Structure 1
Amino acid sequence: MKHLKKNHKPIAAAILLMGSFLSAPALAGTGKLVLTGGVSTIEGAAGGGLTPWAVIGTQATENEWGIAANITQARTDDYTVDTQGVTFAWDERIEFSLGSQTLDTGITGTALGLPGLDLEQTIVGVKYKLFGDAILDSDTWMPQVSVGLQHKSLDAAGLAPTLNTLGAKDSGTDAYISATKLFLKQGVLVNGTLRATKANQNGFLGFGSTLGGDDTDYELMPEFSVAKLLKDNLAIGAEYRFMPNKLESAGRAAGLGNGLASDDWMDVFVAWAPTKNVSLTAAYVDLGRIVPGTTNGRDQTGVYLSAQFAF
């Protein structure tokens, strides 16, 4: 099978819209403190690399529009994930995001008789700040709290019949609430997110399953981030994201043992902002087992690189 052609038309269209916003009188001016708006997650929302934070992305402050674009690649032992995204924000209150993800299935696709198989996912997100200010309230214990939705649509290509057999849907919606607190004097940021999700491997393997028992209910999964500002434009940190394991029972029912088991995700990262509009992030990632039946049970560890341009 030839390598499947990637389709990022939604992202391209959104980027074209940036031109009209760049001429708007309410576009972000001086913006926020460097790095305090977070970077872009793999799903498009502002936060760390793996988990959203309560902060509203871009450089926009009150009564301003903000725009950000990002590109990311994560390489593990057996897989490659490429993501692109754009974010629009208004008034430090609401954030809209659009992300496109492509998973190169590597040896798993080959083992399934689908060499060159790419799984593509589009994610449309919205985040709304409920109360608090992670930066301005740094002298109190009150965090900034936001809620968000992420609707994910999967194009599984040649893997779709297999996912149908497992009873996994090709779309789903995550809901989350995040609380973020910056202790400015100590230069420490902490975040906690609670996500309601049905996604298998973040949605790359569909949503829920019915083979071997109905496992299509939402599960509440916590996510945590901590970051230390070493300088005003340099931070280090770590993230931990709990993940559902909805496909393992379906895999056992299909005679695959634990061949479809999944694990939690984590990373250790460094973020650097050479200018107020540009941030670069590098991380060591551990995504646990992803289809261990075709990868000899290996944990998928590797590197994550991301660039964000925010205005």
Structure 2
Amino acid sequence: MKNYIFGNKCIALLGVLALLATGTATAAGTRQLATGGASTIEGSAGGGIVPWAAITGYGTGDEIGATAFASRVDTGDYRLDSQGAAVGLFNRIELSLARQDLDLITLGPALGLPGAHLRQHVVGVKLRLFGDVIYTDWPQVSLGVQYKKNRDFLIPSVVGATDDSDVDVYLSATKVFLAGVGNFNAFINGTARWTRANETGLLGFGGPLHSGRRLQAEISGGVLLSRHFAIGAEYRRKSGNLSGLPEDDWRDLFIAWFPNRHLSLVLAYVDLGTVATLQDQTGWYLSLQGAF
């Protein structure tokens, strides 16, 4: 019950900031199209699985922007639904919230738990430290913190997770290269994450193999085929703290459509490897984001 109250309070706060954004920003902000990225499954601005240094939305230094998203990852054995919202304050600070729901389509019945789900709340804060994705020689660099709270800890505790909540800390650098690949603009992002999450926290935190946080690398990059379309790939290294439940790294190939500053759509092929003993978890990812 406390988790629901906590989540509702966060949503209310983001809602208030979103109302402020509508009165402060014009046409969802004035930064260039696609420079705010999309929304990750954890709520922050970025690709689908890797956060970027970009601040959500299109607000410049004197504007406030807000985004909301819904996404689904489906491998057949698992289905992960994520929804959330974020607010970008003056292209400097980002506040985000996401709710995740993992449906154990195959594993649940195999464990004698038909209809079992693993759910998680993620609350994030990101601070742009320096640089700009386009207008400076240096990349844009941001520091992010994500507080994660697992809401269904029975299964994670049985398989060896030690905690139902924890904090991820990450440092991201993002740069857009104008005409970087032929005549096309290109972008690249690198993220270093300090974490002890199991399957991003859906299986809890820590375990018998490793109890403390470790650095994990995450990268993404792509090419803007036009002002409205981008293609690219992402890679996210995973921890593996639970004995008997090795984690494979995640990767995807995506295409993103930015018809205007108010809407973005991302479609991807995902390869999650082995997830909780089930091998060859490949499938699709779809995410829709609105900016205000």
Contact 1:143 1:181 in 2 (8 A): yes
Match of 1:182 in 2: 176
**Structure 1 vs Structure 2: percent identity of aligned residues?**
44
Alignment length (residue pairs) = 284
Match of 1:159 in 2: 155
> Aligned with 2:200: secondary structure?
helix
Match of 1:149 in 2: 145
**Residue pairs, 1:48-197, within 5 angstroms:** 48-137=47-136, 140=137, 142-156=138-152, 158-159=154-155, 161-163=157-159, 166-186=160-180, 187-197=185-195
- Alpha-carbon RMSD: 2.0
Match of 1:268 in 2: 253
> Aligned with 2:273: secondary structure?
strand
Matching of residue 33 in structure 1 with residue 45 in structure 2: no
Instruction: Quote the Cα distance in structure 2 between the aligned partners of 1:239 and 1:10.
Output: 32
Counterpart residue type for residue 151 of structure 2: D
Contact 1:101 1:121 in 2 (8 A): yes
Pair 1:261–1:160, CA change in 2 (3 A): closer
Instruction: Quote the Cα distance in structure 2 between the aligned partners of 1:20 and 1:235.
Output: 30
Counterpart of 1:305 (choices 262, 268, 286) is 286
Which is greater in Rg? Answer: 1
How far residue 22 of structure 1 moved from its aligned partner, in angstroms, is 4.6
How far residue 193 of structure 1 moved from its aligned partner, in angstroms, is 0.4
Q: Over residues 173-199 of structure 1, what are the superposed CA-to-partner deviations in whole Å (9 max), with x where a residue is unaligned?
A: 000000111101220000000000000
Q: Over residues 37-92 of structure 1, what are the superposed CA-to-partner deviations in whole Å (9 max), with x where a residue is unaligned?
A: 11000100001111001111111111111100000001013100000010011111
Q: Over residues 23-47 of structure 1, what are the superposed CA-to-partner deviations in whole Å (9 max), with x where a residue is unaligned?
A: 5335665422111111000100001
Contact 1:66 1:88 in 2 (8 A): yes
Contact 1:55 1:180 in 2 (8 A): yes
> Aligned with 2:109: secondary structure?
helix
> Aligned with 2:12: secondary structure?
helix
Structure 2: runs of 5 or more not aligned: none
Q: TM-score, normalised by structure 2?
A: 0.91
Q: Over residues 117-156 of structure 1, what are the superposed CA-to-partner deviations in whole Å (9 max), with x where a residue is unaligned?
A: 111100000010111111112xx3x111111000100011
Structure 1: runs of 5 or more not aligned: 1-5, 252-259
Match of 1:241 in 2: 236
Contact 1:11 1:84 in 2 (8 A): no
Match of 2:203 in 1: 205
Pair 1:204–1:127, CA change in 2 (3 A): same
> Aligned with 1:24: secondary structure?
helix
How far residue 15 of structure 1 moved from its aligned partner, in angstroms, is 6.0
Counterpart residue type for residue 176 of structure 1: Y
Moved more, 24-33 or 127-136: 24-33
How far residue 19 of structure 1 moved from its aligned partner, in angstroms, is 5.7
Contact 1:53 1:180 in 2 (8 A): yes
Match of 1:286 in 2: 271
Instruction: Quote the Cα distance in structure 1 between the aligned partners of 2:220 and 2:43.
Output: 16
